[in-house]
Amino acid sequence: MVITNAKYIKDVVTNENYAVSATIDGQGYNIPMDTGNRHYAEIIKQVADGTITIAEAD
């Protein structure tokens, strides 16, 4: 997967990150922070590999 523009989404009530928005292979997604989700699993793999970083939420 080619992942760009990864950014956390913050819960405005708890003020904690709970999802990630990213563009994957040209398609935008809102992605849950669950390793069973293929998109999130690949994001954390690429973060661990140093390929991408996840920007802080707005």
Partner 1 sequence: MSKVKIEGHGTGTGTFTVTTPSSNTDRTITLPDSTGTILDNTSTLDATKLSGNLPAISAASLTNVPKDTTVGGKKNMIINGAMQIDQRATSKTGVTSSGYHTLDRWNLDNSGLGTFTMSRSADAPSGFYSSLKMDCTTAYGSAGGDDFNAIHQDLESYDGVSLGYGTSDAKSLTVSFWVKCSQTGTLQFNLVHYASSTRQISATYTINTANTWEKKTITFAGDTSQASDNDNSKGLVFEWFLASGTGRTSGGSPQTSWGAYALNKRNAGSTISIGDSTSDTWQITGVQAEIGSTATDFEHRSFGEELALCQRYFQILQDNAGYFAGNAVGSNRIDTGIPLAVPLRATPSFAANGYITHRSGNANSSTNQATVGSYNANSTTLKIRFGGHSVTDEVAYVISIASEDLLIDSEL
Angstrom distance (rounded) from CA 4 to CA 14? 26
CA distances from 44 to 13, 14, 17, 50, 51 (A): 25, 23, 14, 10, 10
**Hey, which residues between 1 and 58 contact partner 1 (CB under 8 A)?**
1-2, 9, 12-13, 18-19, 21, 24-32, 34, 36-40
Assess contact for 21 and 43: CB atoms under 8 A.
no
Least distance (Å) from partner 1 to the CB of residue 53? 19
Is the Cβ of residue 29 or residue 52 nearer to partner 1 in the bound state? 29
Interface contacts to partner 1, rule CB under 8 A: 1-2, 9, 12-13, 18-19, 21, 24-32, 34, 36-40
